Chain A
Amino acid sequence: MSVLVFAEASEGKFKKIAFEAVSYGKKVAEQLGVSLVALTINADNAAELAAYGAAKIIKVNNEVLKSFDAKITANIIQQVAEKEASQVVVIDSSSNGLYLAPLVAVNLNAGFASNVMAAPSSTTPFVVKRKAFSNKAFNNTEINTEVKVIGLAKNSFGIFENNTTASEEDFSPEIIASGVSSVGVNKASGKVTIADAEIVVSGGRGLKGPENWGLIEDLAEVLDAALACSKPVSDLGWRPHGEHVGQTGKPVASNLYIAIGISGAIQHVAGINASKVKVVINTDPEAPFFKVADYGIVGDAFEVVPELIEKLKAFKAQNS
């Protein structure tokens, strides 16, 4: 018996959510009194996972898997889960994780709970807490099947070190045929992505026009943050659609979300609510964003933000 975590490597490197998934798997394995197995594909340094509690690291290295394929990967996870008699399979909520987790659940005929945010509150019955209604509520879900698949919500459980002596095993899975092939990837290089960012800086219509976005970009640069914008801003063509966050846009679950000149329409908040700390800068003290923010400044972005940038530079210089 075991808990299996799929620890995804992106271009060979683990992202934080992989460590979070392993930390979560370790907790569940302890609760069930079984060992933790981590599966990696084409990772440069799979041994890193031992620091978060993986007792066995299964390494798959195969050129064919350089380009992600959900169906093939889901099948490999199934092969390993069956081989390791895994009763729980943990998958993160990266875009690839979201793509493959439902397939793994069907392959294993497993009950699947996505958006899970905490360790099981009970293991018999097996109950986990999930986010629902755009983080306006949580639901406790019981999983009744023998094998269970958990989709772990991003930035929800946390990363916990748990140094373990891990055994490593090379595994050559059978590679099934996939009906989907990658034709090309269009990715801005060197930019912090909204999915990975610890901090997201977001601008709204209050910035009055695309020519003023230098402010937002400078602030993002000081904070090593990703750039985002509200829906009207992307609809007006001031910023690319890829930066639109909120319902129907990209979801944000960062540590810090800074909203500048964004009123805080309910659809916007629904998409960024999973962020831990929210800051609003807006001229209108009645803006709904102040109801959901943790910290706020009532003021003109064109005065507040330049000063914030300067002071943050000084702060960074002092604290680095």
Chain B
Amino acid sequence: MKILVCISHVPDTTSKINFTDNNSAFDTTGVQYVINPYDEFALSRAMWFKEKQGATVTVITVGNATTEPTLRKCLAIGADDAIRINTEALDGFQVAKELAEVAKANAYDLILTGRESIDYNGAMVPGMLAALLDFNFINACVGVEIESGAVTASKEIDGGTETLATTLPAVIAGQKGLVEEKDLRIPNMRGIMMARKKPLAIVEPQTIEVATKAINFEKPAEKSACKLVDASNIDGLIDLLHNEAKVI
């Protein structure tokens, strides 16, 4: 089985969110980048398939050279090789089109990725990629098993889970549950040493007409301070929620 894991290179959750150039660009000063947490579940599940059932695992991202440490980290976790599509995409559609082109050329059986990235939270790329490739698609996946090309997956739905059956080739966009949190893979020293020698291919982008672009960013208005209510004044809290906030 040939598995492609799509990785988003995102600011760590604790990063300060600021903008530069007249609020037109994200300020990367002092920002630590990590593997998108949702993609970590996808990569860890891919490693499980590699070890238990035999598979090759390729990781891919769309971005400039600054994303390479994130790809090397994926290689250290155990991916066999990495691909970087050398462009800074302006929207999810562009990312999906770039990924689709590489996926078509390499005939992957399974594409695993996170259901969304934690920066733009757009949740656009997995479905778009599946539609562009005409692959079967399962979103919000919380568990997946594959036996001779037959896929059984559980998907989170509002208020529960649904079990779905499909076949390869497929795109599966997942989250916690693909593996448990405790089973997330982290690089060990041997992995880090080996990662240096693993192939990281740089692919030049296609020319894509961009469908959407972020013009500028805004930050929410400064929140007013938390109104503290004394523990002996529960009536006061109920009054505030009813008359001021109007939520009960």
Show the binding face of A for B, using Cβ within 8 Å. Answer: 10, 70-71, 74, 94-96, 98-103, 105-107, 110-115, 127, 129, 131-145, 151, 179-188, 191, 193, 195-196, 198-199, 223, 235, 241-242, 244, 247-250, 255-256, 266-267, 270, 276-277, 279-280, 290-300, 303-304, 307-308, 311-312, 315, 319
Residues in B175-200 with C-beta less than 8 Å from chain A: 175-177, 181-182
Instruction: For B137, give its contact among A180, A308, A315 (CB under 8 Å).
Output: A180
Contact A248 B175, beta carbon cutoff 8 Å: yes
| CB-CB under 8 A for A247 and B137, given A277-B247, A292-B223 | no
Contact A188 B214, beta carbon cutoff 8 Å: no
| CB-CB under 8 A for A106 and B163, given A180-B137, A296-B227 | no
How many Å lie between the Cα of A101 and that of B127 in the bound state? 8
| Chain B positions within 8 Å of A270 at CB level | 13, 118
| Chain A positions within 8 Å of B124 at CB level | 101-102, 105, 112, 114
| Chain B positions within 8 Å of A191 at CB level | 159
B8 within 8 A of A: no
How many Å lie between the Cα of A179 and that of B38 in the bound state? 25
Instruction: For B165, give its contact among A99, A181, A185 (CB under 8 Å).
Output: A181
| Chain A positions within 8 Å of B238 at CB level | 308, 311-312, 315
How many Å lie between the Cα of A145 and that of B210 in the bound state? 9
B107 within 8 A of A: no
Q: How many chain B residues touch A (Cβ–Cβ < 8 Å)?
A: 79
| Chain B positions within 8 Å of A115 at CB level | 120-122
| CB-CB under 8 A for A185 and B218, given A95-B140, A134-B118, A276-B247 | no
| Chain B positions within 8 Å of A304 at CB level | 231, 234
| Chain B positions within 8 Å of A193 at CB level | 158-159
Contact A297 B228, beta carbon cutoff 8 Å: yes
Contact A95 B136, beta carbon cutoff 8 Å: no
Contact B162 A102, beta carbon cutoff 8 Å: no
Contact A294 B218, beta carbon cutoff 8 Å: no
How many Å lie between the Cα of A235 and that of B176 in the bound state? 11
B201 within 8 A of A: no
B52 within 8 A of A: no
Q: How far is the CB of A147 from chain B (nearest CB, A)?
A: 10
- Which of A114, A180, A249, A293 has the most chain B CB atoms inside 10 A of its CB? A180
Contact A138 B228, beta carbon cutoff 8 Å: no
How many Å lie between the Cα of A136 and that of B221 in the bound state? 10
Contact A139 B214, beta carbon cutoff 8 Å: yes
Contact B160 A142, beta carbon cutoff 8 Å: no
- Which of A151, A291, A294, A312 has the most chain B CB atoms inside 10 A of its CB? A294
Q: How far is the CB of A63 from chain B (nearest CB, A)?
A: 18
Instruction: For B228, give its contact among A129, A137, A296 (CB under 8 Å).
Output: A296
Contact A127 B215, beta carbon cutoff 8 Å: yes
The digit string for B82-99, where 1 denotes a CB below 8 A from any CB of A, is 000000000111001000
Show the binding face of B for A, using Cβ within 8 Å. Answer: 11, 13-14, 17, 19, 37-38, 41, 91-93, 96, 118-128, 130-132, 136-140, 152, 156-167, 170, 175-177, 181-182, 210-220, 223-224, 226-231, 234-235, 237-238, 240-242, 245, 247-248
Contact A185 B162, beta carbon cutoff 8 Å: yes
How many Å lie between the Cα of A188 and that of B240 in the bound state? 33
Chain A contact surface mostly: mixed
Contact A182 B231, beta carbon cutoff 8 Å: no
| CB-CB under 8 A for A180 and B164, given A144-B211, A195-B159, A247-B37 | yes
| Chain A positions within 8 Å of B125 at CB level | 102
Contact B165 A296, beta carbon cutoff 8 Å: no
Contact A184 B162, beta carbon cutoff 8 Å: yes
- Closest residue of chain B to A315 (Cβ to Cβ) is B238
- Closest residue of chain A to B97 (Cβ to Cβ) is A106
| Chain B positions within 8 Å of A277 at CB level | 241, 245, 247
A–B pairs, 26, beta carbons within 8 Å: A10-B158, A71-B137, A102-B96, A115-B121, A115-B122, A132-B121, A133-B11, A134-B121, A136-B17, A139-B215, A141-B214, A141-B215, A180-B138, A241-B177, A248-B38, A248-B181, A256-B245, A256-B247, A256-B248, A291-B226, A292-B226, A293-B226, A296-B228, A298-B231, A299-B231, A312-B248
| Chain A positions within 8 Å of B38 at CB level | 248
| CB-CB under 8 A for A141 and B212, given A279-B237, A279-B241 | yes
How many Å lie between the Cα of A114 and that of B91 in the bound state? 11
| Chain A positions within 8 Å of B161 at CB level | 185-187, 242
| Chain B positions within 8 Å of A142 at CB level | 212-213, 215
Instruction: For A298, give its contact among B119, B130, B216, B228 (CB under 8 Å).
Output: B228
Contact B241 A295, beta carbon cutoff 8 Å: yes
| CB-CB under 8 A for A102 and B128, given A181-B166, A304-B231 | yes
Q: How far is the CB of A39 from chain B (nearest CB, A)?
A: 19
Beyond the given pairs A96-B157, A99-B140, A294-B224, 16 more chain A to chain B contacts, judged by CB atoms under 8 angstroms and listed by A's residue number, are A103-B128, A107-B131, A114-B92, A133-B120, A134-B13, A142-B212, A144-B213, A180-B165, A187-B161, A248-B176, A266-B13, A277-B245, A292-B226, A296-B228, A296-B229, A298-B231
